[in-house]
Amino acid sequence: MHTRRDFLQKLTYTALAAPLLSAAQPLTFLNSNHDTYNGPVLRVAIMGLGGYGTRVAQAMELCKKAKLTGLISGTPKKVQQWQAKYNIPDKNCYNYENFDEVRDNPDIDAIYVITPNALHYEHVIRAAKAGKHVICEKPMAINAKEGEDMVRKCKEANVKLLVGYRMHFEPKTLEVVQMRRNGDFGKVHFFQGQCGFRIGDPNQWRLNKDLAGGGALVDIGIYAINGARYMLGEEPVWVTAQETKTDLVKFKEGVDETILFQLGFPSGALAACLSTYNMNNLDRFFLTGEKGFAEMQPSTGYGPIEGRTHKGKLTHPHVTHQTLQMDEMAAIILEDTNPIITVDGEEGLKDLKIIDAIYKSCKTGEKVTLAL
């Protein structure tokens, strides 16, 4: 029987130099027989105590290398509730006006920014100026210009900037990546990513351009963008895209409902992807090559990922994604480890450049060249 502890220890990855996988790099899992962890622990303040912040906090209760020690929120009632649940002292609680004071708090090493997309830029830079490492939810920013500035400001502050790409640590996902690197699919020709759902409350921040910075593409389509890159193991060189909008009341100007987009890669491989706020039963990745295929559905959801390849079913046991993510990110920050698929600010910036290009192609109807 595999215990959660055994599994986490098997997911300590070898240090790799390049941000994306290449054929020259071995992908290995290191086994350890140690049952206890006595190393450094990353002390994290969560900024934004909403639904996803709650999910991350709950997952961190199972972490060995990361611990919730601080709270940042504009809602005092939420802070009080979280304080009681997670035993957070008053001195480690802040609001959006005074959280710069965290610079003087030795109980907090990093801030996890889980606020609406359009606020990421300000919050990340302020956290960096306070001398704290930053984990930022995706999309890292609302455009590449902001992303470039965030990367630069974090480097200038000598703090690490990581992006919440939880799928980069998910075992079944990594199993498919390993198969591709091992040549099990042969030359890979095609990737398909279908990401979306029917969105509910029309008044939520995700449908407010001033807070979301876009629509389905930045929220859910980014999984297909990022997935195409790590599944194929190369960077796209062009993009074409088409937008469809059926509800002009819910999806106002600047908030996309459905976008089809295509990516071209140096090897000749193609990706065809769907991003939508108006269809259910999606969340599917498909990869095919000369020798075989991989299919995952669900491919990016919070629950267990399910999938199969031409060799059979993907069998790694499910572990809460955010628990794996936070333990591995703690190791990146405190031990300077390198994950198999990078999660740094430069990785987030590449996705933002692609998003900018997709929106440009939708507007112009033309193929847009990419230089990542």
Find out whether 67 and 43 touch, Cβ atoms under 8 Å: yes
The three-class DSSP label of residue 66 is: strand
Report the alpha-carbon distance of residue 300 to residue 173 in Å, rounded. Answer: 9
Neighbours of 23 (CB within 10 A): 10
DSSP string covering 14-50, please?
PP-SSSS--TTS---EE--------S--EEEEEE--S
The three-class DSSP label of residue 1 is: coil
Handedness of CA 361, 367, 368, 372 (dihedral sign): positive
Q: What's the angle, vertex CA 232, arms to CA 228 and CA 237, rounded to 5?
A: 70
Residue 359 identity = Y
DSSP string covering 222-288, please?
HHHHHHHHHHHTS--SEEEEEEE-S-TTTS-TT--SEEEEEEE-TTS-EEEEEEESS--S--EEEEE
Show the 3-state SS of 339-371: CCCCCEHHHHHHHHHHHHHHHHHHHHCCCEECC
Is 91 noted as a catalytic residue in this protein?
A: no
Instruction: Sheet containing 161-163: give its strands across.
Output: 93-94, 66-72, 42-47, 110-113, 133-136, 161-163
Find out whether 109 and 133 touch, Cβ atoms under 8 Å: yes
Report the alpha-carbon distance of residue 21 to residue 282 in Å, rounded. Answer: 27
Is 52 noted as a catalytic residue in this protein?
A: no
Token duo for residue 198? 């029917």
Which residue in 132, 138, 160, 353 is the catalytic one? 138
Report the alpha-carbon distance of residue 289 to residue 334 in Å, rounded. Answer: 39
Which residue in 165, 223, 230, 277 is the catalytic one? 223
Q: Which of 149, 169, 191 is nearest to 342 (CA)?
A: 169
Residues classed as catalytic: 138, 223
